[in-house]
Amino acid sequence: MAYPRIARMQNVEEFRAYCEELGLPLQAEDRIETAPDSPLAQPLTAGGKTLGNRFVIHPMEGWDGDDDGKPNELVRRRWRNFAHSGAKCVWGGEAMAITPDSRANPRQLMIRPETEDSLKALHAELLDIHHSYFGSNADLLTGFQLTHSGRFSRPSQSGLEPRILYRHPFLDRKFGIPDDYPVLSDDEVRGIIDLFVRAGGIAERCGADFVDVKHCHGYLGHEFLSAVTREGPFGGSFENRTRFLREVVSGIRATTSRIQIGVRLSAFDFAPYRPDPARSSGSRLGPGIPEDFSGALPYRHAFGGNAQNPVEFDLSDTFRFIELLRELDIRLLNVSAGSPYYNPHIQRPALFPPSDGYQPPEDPLVGCARQIEATAQIKAAFPDMIVIGTGYSYLQEFLPHVAQWVVRSGKADAVGLGRMVLAYPTLPKDTLTRGSLNSKRICRTFSDCTTGPRNGLVSGCYPLDPAYRNLPEAALVRKIKASL
């Protein structure tokens, strides 16, 4: 099914009318406001600092570090773009694996003693660039995202080397995990906790204000939350499924002096999706349909999903988890959803699928609205949490209009940018200083930045960023896309 293109909408009235037609609880303000009046220009007290505005840069990895897990020029360029974007929080920078075998790709950054100096230099450059553009770093908050890729570990080009916490009825099959494949032992989990704690110390020495103990997108931290069928101290009960978080947090607190802790959370998850075989042909992807979960109800593998209908969210467990964050004195929460590997339409709404995805099963605006609504429910229930929203890139021209409404009405404290920052790094600055956007740089959700890495290439905005458009990889990405 073809959905109306946002780029072709003439004005915000047309956008609003279309949202109304879809029955979406989305609003968009009449015009983009600039600083100092814009709600997006208001300061925010978070992580011990007063941030200069309500824009956040989400973690965005590029599958482009050196083989030894150190940043190189492509990584540094991306971080320089984060630095002068105008956003006042760089949440995570990008996923940094705690060990070589826990990388999601062979070129993922690693956070371990061997890479400490290079990460310190990367962070220092981020601060220098921010300072040179804005004259001070007092209003900027930075974090490092700590990750173990778990089920989606792929440390070499030869394919997935999953590290799983439990047998998953659909994902094991989808990703070819044989019946006799081992689950991580409790001792292995304890070793992983120690390495997260070690990474927290490294982040502190590198100068980051906080670490994100990643709990999203199907990676290990997220998988703990749905490990209801795992036996032993790290599975089953809510208390056991959150032991990983509690032990990492207490370990980091015991071994560091000032670093704050935040969590990026897939606040809800759905059953895995796949291209509808009846509507796919050759390599042409059909629209996404959920796996047939009818024989697997109640569905217990989607944290924050409705167990009777796991294509809807139910935030009861999510609220319990956030209550735990508060008890642990964690206030920084970046709300995401689902996983890019098995239900990307709820995670990063897009008009064009990546090569391992499917055509959108719904208007991508529905995906944006779903994340905004879940985030608003979280903020309403936990007003003292600093809540950052996700999934805004598909809003395109109307991103600032919707973001203003979200922040003004207290549905989130700040708005995060993912793909948009690859395509158009200075969107925050342009919004707040000019009150208008450069339409030639707006992310159109072509998904090349996902298709590239899924095919072993570096990630970047091949269509819109001249530095990537001219790489030899760009031709390969075009060829792969043409075959879809």
The residues that touch ligand SF4, with contacts defined as CB under 6 A, are: 419, 422-423, 443-449, 461-464
Asked if 193 and 251 count as a contact pair (C-beta separation under 8 A), the reply is: yes
* Site membership for ligand FMN, residue 459 (CB under 6 A): yes
* Binding partner selected for residue 339 from ligand FMN, ligand SF4, none, CB under the kind-specific 5 to 8 Å limit: none
How far, CA to CA in Å, does 479 sit from each of 87, 150, 279, 284, 461? 35, 31, 22, 13, 16
> Least CB distance from residue 340 to ligand SF4, whole Å?
12
- Residue selected from 353, 450, 468, 474 as contacting ligand FMN according to rule CB under 6 A: 450
Q: Which amino acid is at 276?
A: D
* Site membership for ligand FMN, residue 391 (CB under 6 A): yes
Pairing of strands 288-290, 273-275: antiparallel
C-beta nearest to ligand FMN: residue: 418
Q: Which stretch binds ligand FMN (CB under 6 A): 47-55, 127-135, 285-293, 387-395?
A: 387-395
- Residue selected from 154, 345, 348, 429 as contacting ligand FMN according to rule CB under 6 A: 348
- Residue selected from 141, 220, 333, 420 as contacting ligand FMN according to rule CB under 6 A: 420
Task: State which residue, 334 or 459, has the beta carbon closest to ligand SF4.
Answer: 459
> Least CB distance from residue 26 to ligand FMN, whole Å?
14
Task: State which residue, 226 or 445, has the beta carbon closest to ligand SF4.
Answer: 445
Give the alpha-carbon dihedral of 43, 217, 156, 125, to 10 degrees.
0
List of residues 6+ apart from 66 with CB closer than 8 A: 72, 107
Site string for ligand FMN, 193-232 (x = CB under 6 A): -----------------------xx---------------
Report DSSP letters for 99-140, one per residue.
SGGG-SSTT-EE-SGGGHHHHHHHHHHHHHHHHHHHS-STT-
> Least CB distance from residue 11 to ligand SF4, whole Å?
22
Q: Which amino acid is at 459?
A: S
Cis peptide before 298 (omega within 30 of 0): yes
> Least CB distance from residue 448 to ligand SF4, whole Å?
4
Whole-angstrom Cα distance, residue 295 to residue 318? 25
- Residue selected from 33, 94, 247, 397 as contacting ligand FMN according to rule CB under 6 A: 94
For 6, phi and psi rounded to 5 degrees?
Answer: -60, -40
Whole-angstrom Cα distance, residue 84 to residue 424? 11
Task: State which residue, 393 or 431, has the beta carbon closest to ligand FMN.
Answer: 393
Task: State which residue, 61 or 230, has the beta carbon closest to ligand FMN.
Answer: 61
Task: State which residue, 227 or 457, has the beta carbon closest to ligand SF4.
Answer: 457
> Least CB distance from residue 404 to ligand SF4, whole Å?
22
> Least CB distance from residue 419 to ligand SF4, whole Å?
4
How far, CA to CA in Å, does 428 sit from each of 12, 76, 274, 289? 19, 20, 35, 35
CA-based nearest residue to 344, from 415, 293, 393, 308: 393
> Distance from CA of residue 237 to its chain's centroid?
26
> What residue has token string 């009825």?
169
Site string for ligand FMN, 242-271 (x = CB under 6 A): ----------------------x-------
Site string for ligand FMN, 400-419 (x = CB under 6 A): -----------------xxx
Residue ranges of alpha helices (H) inside 229-348 are 238-241, 243-255, 316-327, 344-347
> Least CB distance from residue 62 to ligand FMN, whole Å?
7
Instruction: Look up residue 451 and give its two tokens.
Output: 């298709």
Task: State which residue, 56 or 245, has the beta carbon closest to ligand SF4.
Answer: 56
Partners of residue 281 on adjacent β-strands: 284
* Binding partner selected for residue 342 from ligand SF4, ligand FMN, none, CB under the kind-specific 5 to 8 Å limit: none
Asked if 316 and 355 count as a contact pair (C-beta separation under 8 A), the reply is: no
| Residue ranges binding ligand FMN (CB under 6 A) | 58-61, 94-95, 145, 216-217, 264, 336, 348, 390-394, 417-420, 449-450, 459
